[in-house]
Amino acid sequence: MTTRPFRRLFPPSTPAAGPAYWLLFHGSDLLMPAERAPALLEGNNAALDGVEVGDSFLLGTLGGTPVMVGVLGADAPAPAGYQPRGLRDVLAHGDPELVSLASYATHLMHWNRTNRFCPTCGLPLSQLSDASWGRVCPNGHSLYPPVSPATIVLIHDGERVLLTSKPGWGKRYSLVAGFLEPGESLEECVAREVREEVGVEVTDIQYISSQPWPFPQQIMVGFLARYAGGEIIVDTSELADARWFTRDDMPELPPPYTISRQLIELWRTH
């Protein structure tokens, strides 16, 4: 599949007249075609097939065509031919182009909804004019959409891997993960989270890849690490279980679109 180039644009950019793609939110869900797979909606830069769109903004261009983000009124029913779908459902579809744009749009929608007033002085925020998503208050305090880094790590020991489960997950197991603390490197975060959640030590911490995780504003930074010693001691305030599994005896795993599953498959196939 050929991926069309996406160019991010920032206020005060405006869309060119003519055709446009849309990501339309209904509450926290995205409106998607009812009779086919999730996809970008097609309209023009001001409208979408007669749907009354509320607030909207330009996200960027995809192959030269504007990509718009809009909001349907909170009390408005879903228009005929569309159905609301949760972001996880959209991500599970797996189309890289849609996954990337939907994640980006969701992050900015959360930013717009939750940052209307200055956290320092309480005055209303207005859009900065520096070609960014930043906002500023009358007293000059400025802020920008935050990104919260978290590490996620696959712990391996020869032919076995240490997986964890959380309360409410049922039979599904995943990886140790946690947020970066101030003054901490990503590798230090990996070692600390492993020690805190499952009680073991790791070494040979190796960065693999990262994944934006807009729930609501994270980026998951993925690592492999080799088991270096210790017995499993489960932090029951965080986890329901942690145990070793072999390649031939794996539990229910996270969905394929998640970085946790991608790290597991990387280990399992090498």
Alpha helices (runs of H) in 160-258, residue ranges in sequence order:
186-198
Report the C-alpha gap between 103 and 216 in whole angstroms.
9
Q: State the average pLDDT over residues 15-36.
A: 91
Q: Where in the chain is the domain with CATH 3.90.79.20?
A: 6-114
For the cut 60, the answer to whether the pLDDT of residue 71 exceeds it is yes
- Mean pLDDT (the chain) is 93
**Domain 6-114: assigned CATH number:** 3.90.79.20
Q: Where in the chain is the domain with CATH 3.90.79.10?
A: 148-268
| 211-226 residue pLDDT tens | 999 998 999 999 999 9
Out of 50-54, 93-97, 153-157, least confident range: 50-54
Q: State the average pLDDT over residues 225-248.
A: 97
Where does the pLDDT of residue 76 fall: very low under 50, low under 70, confident under 90, or very high at 90 and above?
confident
**Domain 148-268: assigned CATH number:** 3.90.79.10
For the cut 60, the answer to whether the pLDDT of residue 1 exceeds it is no
Count of C-beta atoms within a 10 Å radius of residue 155? 26
pLDDT of residue 77: 82
CB 206 within 8 A of CB 224: yes
Put residue 229 in one of left, alpha, beta given phi > 0 → left and psi -120 to 50 → alpha. Answer: left
pLDDT of residue 2: 60
| Separation in Å, CA 242 to CA 113, 205, 259 | 37, 20, 19
| 125-142 residue pLDDT tens | 999 978 899 999 999 999
| 172-204 residue pLDDT tens | 999 999 999 999 999 999 999 999 999 999 999
| 100-111 residue pLDDT tens | 999 999 999 999
Q: Single out the residue of 96, 47, 26 nearest to residue 262, CA to CA.
A: 96
pLDDT of residue 78: 81
Model pTM score: 0.90
Strand partners, 61: 7, 66
pLDDT of residue 258: 95
Q: State the average pLDDT over residues 251-268.
A: 96
Where does the pLDDT of residue 46 fall: very low under 50, low under 70, confident under 90, or very high at 90 and above?
confident
Percent of the chain with pLDDT over 90: 80
